[in-house]
Amino acid sequence: MSLSHGQYAIQCQLCEGDPKVKWNCLDCELLMCSKCKDKVHSKFKSEKVHRIIDIKDVGQQSKCEEPEERVSSSPTNVKLKNIKEYKTRTVDISFLAVSLDGSLWIGDGDKEEGFHLFTSYTALQNVKLVGDKVKVLSSFNIEVYDIAVTPSNDILLAIEGSRLKQIKAGSNKVSDSVYFVELSYITSVHVTKDGRVIVGGGKVIVVMDTDVKYLARYEEDENKKPIFDGTIWSTTSTLNGNIFVAQPYFNPRVVVLCKGDVINNYTGPPSIKSQRRFNPRSVITTPMDHVIVADCFNHSLHILDNTGHLLTTYNTKDIGIEYPRSLTITMEGPFAVLYIGCRNTGSCEDSSDTGQLYKTNIMGC
């Protein structure tokens, strides 16, 4: 799923009050206003050797080199605020995307067979949140694995087959896109901020530009061994050019790719592994260039830096959100808004309103 475009406004992580973030400490992994840089960060031990850059240069620092094996202690104080819950007609919200007009694309991806009178298809819906209700603008009975929004507000659909489908902005018609890959099926699609299209399927990742020129193909590592050994489920990218790929089953992990090679494999912290199996279902990039991983089975969000190292985890069950399956993020004024789609935890036999959708303001990542 792609990020919305435009300038991100985020809060200082030290005072948590000044939205005019100016500085980024690469060693502390903190974003700061000028006042906190001079008055607070200057008192940190070894501050004189810390690398502090202008926020405008975030992402320009190349981190594609092989990273050290480490788990960072996190200065990130992640908070979810103003949590709003919505009921939908989907049993599971398997994917999410937000359009440039603020409407959402949601669905469970499963095509319904036969004729169902007065039923809005849950496979794919374009919806708008009105008050505490979900208004369906349009719906499509088409099997979908993943969706992404382009810079021109078109919707790209990953479906079974070798070509991405599309819904052009302002249209309610599903048609073929220009994006074709030599894969038997496509299970993941992501659009970068500059319009590059990343597709995954058949244990392969392909990167294309807007002219459908192949820029990269990830299938084998430098030792000629397959990179992926399970289904590719979700993909995102960071400003330094890294690609994050979620593989939730068989060998569950998040693979981090850069310049033709694997630079990291995130398999979850030991505390997660000792409880339930790590289940990374969705990955999304934040305004601070971190990556959030939705771990469905453990009711948690994992926040990684842009090379795939753990910063912190957030237990969503503590705030009543269970089985997070899909994520998308956008900006509303100065606030970063995270949408979380979940699996229905109860029986859907007696109610058509089953799928859980949450809207939150996320701070600290």
Say yes or no: 123 and 175 in one domain: yes
pLDDT tens track for 79-113: 899 899 999 988 889 999 999 999 999 999 988 87
pLDDT at 145 over 70: yes
Task: Kindly tell me the burial class for residue 56, based on how many C-beta atoms sit within 10 Å of its own C-beta (0-12, 13-18, 19 or more).
Answer: exposed
51-56 average pLDDT score: 75
Say yes or no: 101 and 24 in one domain: no
11 compared with 5, residue with greater pLDDT: 11
pLDDT at 16: 57
pLDDT at 66: 42
Report the distance separating Cα 190 and Cα 238, nearest Å.
Answer: 12
DSSP secondary structure letter of residue 37: H
Say yes or no: 127 and 28 in one domain: no
DSSP secondary structure letter of residue 35: H
The answer to whether residue 228 sits within a structural domain is yes
Least confident of 102-106, 117-121, 242-246, 288-292: 117-121
Say yes or no: 161 and 246 in one domain: yes
Least confident of 56-60, 163-167, 197-201, 239-243: 56-60
Say yes or no: 157 and 90 in one domain: yes
Which range has the top average pLDDT, 20-29, 188-197, 267-276? 188-197
Q: Using an 8 Å Cβ cutoff, are 16 and 31 in contact?
A: no
The answer to whether residue 270 sits within a structural domain is yes
The answer to whether residue 113 sits within a structural domain is yes
The answer to whether residue 261 sits within a structural domain is yes
Percentage of the chain exceeding pLDDT 70: 80
pLDDT at 275: 64
The answer to whether residue 66 sits within a structural domain is no
117-126 average pLDDT score: 82
DSSP three-state, residue 156: strand
pLDDT tens track for 166-195: 999 989 999 999 999 988 889 999 999 999
Give the dihedral sign, CA 273/276/278/284: negative
Say yes or no: 54 and 92 in one domain: no
237-246 average pLDDT score: 95
Say yes or no: 359 and 245 in one domain: yes
Q: What is the mean pLDDT of the chain?
A: 84
Say yes or no: 204 and 351 in one domain: yes
pLDDT at 185: 86
Task: Residue 323: give its domain's CATH number.
Answer: 2.120.10.30
Which range marks the domain in which residue 280 is found? 73-363
Nearest to 326 by CA among 133, 159, 90: 90
Say yes or no: 102 and 171 in one domain: yes
pLDDT at 48 over 60: no
Say yes or no: 97 and 227 in one domain: yes
pLDDT at 316 over 50: yes
DSSP secondary structure letter of residue 114: S
Strands 214-218 and 234-237: unpaired
The answer to whether residue 64 sits within a structural domain is no
Nearest to 307 by CA among 281, 329, 289, 286: 289
pLDDT at 64: 55
Say yes or no: 200 and 124 in one domain: yes
**Torsion angles phi and psi, residue 146, rounded to 5:** -160, 160
pLDDT at 346: 54
Scan for tokens 């993943």, then name that residue. 146
Say yes or no: 180 and 271 in one domain: yes
Report the distance separating Cα 341 and Cα 339, nearest Å.
Answer: 7
Percentage of the chain exceeding pLDDT 90: 58
pLDDT at 307 over 90: yes
Domains of the chain: total: 2
196-204 average pLDDT score: 94
3-class SS letters over 261-327:
EEEEEECCCHHHHCCCCCCEEEEEECCCCCEEEEECCCCEEEEECCCCCEEEEEEHHHHCCCCEEEE
Give the dihedral sign, CA 95/104/141/134: positive
How many helices (H) does the chain have, and how many strands (E)? 2, 27
pLDDT at 57: 63
Task: Residue 32: give its domain's CATH number.
Answer: 3.30.160
Task: Kindly tell me the burial class for residue 151, based on how many C-beta atoms sit within 10 Å of its own C-beta (0-12, 13-18, 19 or more).
Answer: middle
Question: Which residue type sits at 260?
Answer: G
pLDDT band at 351 (very low <50, low <70, confident <90, very high): very low
Domain boundary pick from 33, 58, 83? 58
pLDDT at 276: 77
Largest pairwise CA distance in the chain:
69
Residues constituting the chain: 365
The answer to whether residue 68 sits within a structural domain is no
The answer to whether residue 63 sits within a structural domain is no
Q: Using an 8 Å Cβ cutoff, are 203 and 232 in contact?
A: yes
